Structure 1
Amino acid sequence: MAEVRNCPKCNEFFNYIGLREVCHKCAQSEEELYQIVYRFLRKRENRAATVERIVEATGAEQDLLYKWVRKGRLQPAMFPNLGYPCDNCGHLTNKGKLCTKCQDDLKADLRTFEAAKEFRESVEERDRATYHSDRKR
């Protein structure tokens, strides 16, 4: 069932059914802006444009460009300088939530944690295997 929400752009009420986060009017203006951006990027000389250059040339908001890249509407394979910020460090990435460097750092931390956990478990196991006698000599 639809839910009544306020559009985050124009503050008008709209029925939210899970498809878009904005009202119909704002969605149409976003789509028109998308077409402008896409036509700009299709020109051979603009295919390697950065996000800043696209914003400057088309008037599109940076967050809107990031949203389109996240959703796959603008594909970094076709436009190599496009991406969206890593959730951890802010550097541009084009897949997932983390850039490659942050993914590698996280994997290294997990490996270190797992190695430390295995070491603690082996020490505990060794301590359990040690038997102490209360016999007095």
Structure 2
Amino acid sequence: MAEVRNCPTCGGMFNYTGLRDVCGTCAQAEEQMYETVYRFLRKRENRAANIDRIVEVTGVTSELLYRWVRKGRLQPALFPNLGYPCDKCGALTSTGKLCAKCTDEIQSDLRTFDAAQELREAVKAQERGTYYTQKDGR
């Protein structure tokens, strides 16, 4: 069932069905902008253009370019200088939500945490020890 939402671009109301995040008018405008960007990038001399250059030449917002890369409409394999910002540090990445540096950093922190956890458990096991009592006064 569709729900009524406000378009984040123009503020107008539209029926949100899950297929697109903007109203029909804004979706058509975005599609025209996409065609402009794609025509620009198809030229051999523009394939290595970065986000700033594409924004400068086509007038499309960087947020829209990031969304297209994230959704796979513009593929970094074909256009190597495209990407979207890492959720943690803001560096450009082309896969996932985090860049390779932040992913490695988090994995390193997790390994350190696991090692510390194992050490704590080993110390606890040693502290428990076994105590013997004597029966019958011996």
Question: So what's the TM-score if we normalise by structure 1?
Answer: 0.94
Does residue 1:74 correspond to 2:74, yes or no? yes
* One-letter code aligned to 1:67: R
TM-superposition CA deviations, 1:65-105 (whole Å, max 9, x none): 00000000000000000000000000000000000000000
Aligned 1:121-136 pairs, distance under 5 A: 121-131=121-131
Counterparts of 2:131 and 2:47, CA distance in 1: 72
State how far apart, in whole Å, the 1-side matches of 2:128 and 2:27 are.
65
Measured on the aligned residues, the alpha-carbon RMSD in Å equals 1.7
Provide runs of 4+ in structure 1 moved above 4 Å: none
- State percent identity of aligned pairs: 66
1:129 Cα deviation from its structure 2 partner = 2.6
Q: Which runs of 5+ in 2 are unaligned?
A: none
Offset of residue 128 of structure 1: 1.6
Map of 1:7 onto structure 2: 7
User: Which structure 2 residues correspond to residues 66-105 of structure 1 after superposition, within 5 A?
Assistant: 66-105=66-105
Equivalent runs, 1:38-77 vs 2, <5 Å: 38-77=38-77
Q: Distance in 2 between matches of 1:132 and 1:61?
A: 75
1:97-133 deviations in Å (ceiling 9; x for gaps) = 0000000000000000000000000111111234376
5+ unaligned residues in a row in structure 1: which ranges? Answer: none
In 2, distance between residues paired with 1:96 and 1:50?
19
